[in-house]
Amino acid sequence: MNIYLDYQATTPADPAVVAAMEPFWTGKFGNPHSNHRYGWEAEAAVDVARTHISRLLNIQPESVVFTSGATEANNLALKGVMARAGRRRLVTVATEHSCVLESARYLETRGFDLTVLGVGPDGLIDFGALEAALGPDVALVSVMAVNNEIGVIQQIAEIAAARMGEDAAHAEALWDAFLAALHVPHAINGSTAHRWHGNINLRFEGLDGDRLIADLRRLSISSGAACASAKGRHSHVLEALGLSRKQAKASLRIGWGRFSTDEEVRAAAAMIGDAVLMQRRTAA
């Protein structure tokens, strides 16, 4: 059985999304800017989607801008706001996604002021430090609601938004099932109280996470954020938590989602446990 547990890198498409998009891959393929029936049909569909999103977010439809993905959206948001706000300082967090941090550092080279807040060993920001960083010169505060690498939910996100209902309950049930089936010593990176339970970042002291992944060929997990793993970089998120390079290298990121099952996470825990024991026996 092949098991996919790398939901923080990407997720399988929800069948409802596939069904909604299918007509536009075949018969309704027009360019929404074309001045003919196919274009008008596509334009109407985009307008309907924009209206649905605006109602969900309680904003005006013209405020909705579609992008190719999160990296483009974050770049557009940060650079767009800073260019037009009339204030010169951006505040963000050391554990933000790399596309946010890289955009922020680019803005710093363009003459803007940048404040990067640290986090505690649990991955949470200090509200006192955040409050101290705020001032009349701050144009934007960028804080990731749920960290994609360690699953920590910043408390500001809990205040600003409701939990995600059924998905949250399902994720918590799988979290409990996974940990119940994992019978080898481990540490959890990041807060266990303030977190999204669809993510768990585990540390197996003294082991090599990349080697563990190589031994787990039927299990799709990762050693960190996909963009950093692909480039062979160490985790800036785990470093911000105060972990050493060796500890970061001993860590695995595991993520489940809407389509993951109890059977899969229990089987994954057993596979990981066996791989950990094998590597420890080999090293002994």
Residue 100 has which token pair? 């946010």
pLDDT, position 281: 86
CA distance 69 to 226: 15
Catalytic residue among 73, 85, 227, 267: 227
Q: Which amino acid is at 157?
A: A
Across the range 206-215, mean pLDDT stands at 89
Q: What is the DSSP string of 106-127?
A: HHHHTT-EEEEE---TTSPPPH
Q: With 90 as the cut, is the pLDDT of residue 176 above it?
A: yes
pLDDT at residue 161, rounded to an integer:
47
Which residues are paired to 23 by β-bridges?
Answer: none
Model-wide pTM > 0.85: no
Predicted confidence at residue 232, as pLDDT, reads: 56
Q: Rounded distance, CA 165 to CA 169, Å?
A: 6
Helix axes 262-283, 165-181, angle to 10 degrees: 40
Cβ neighbors of 148 (< 8 A, separation 6 or more) are 8, 97, 199, 225
pLDDT tens column, 150-173: 999 888 755 454 345 667 888 999
Contact of 228 with 98, CB cutoff 8 Å = yes
Say whether pLDDT at 256 is over 60: yes
Three-state secondary structure call for residue 135: coil
- The whole-angstrom separation of Cα 120 and Cα 129 is 11
Question: What is the average pLDDT value for the chain, to the nearest integer?
Answer: 88
Residues 6+ apart with CB under 8 A from 177: 262, 265, 266
Q: What is 160-283's CATH number?
A: 3.90.1150.10
Predicted local confidence at residue 92, as pLDDT:
96
C-beta of residue 123 within 8 angstroms of C-beta of residue 211:
no
- The answer to whether 227 is a known catalytic residue is yes
Mean pLDDT to the nearest integer, 218-228: 71
For CA atoms 121, 124, 125, 128, the dihedral sign is negative
Query: 70-144 in CATH: which number?
Result: 3.40.640.10
28-37 average pLDDT score: 90
**pLDDT at res. 18:** 94
Q: Retrieve residue 149's tokens.
A: 């690498």
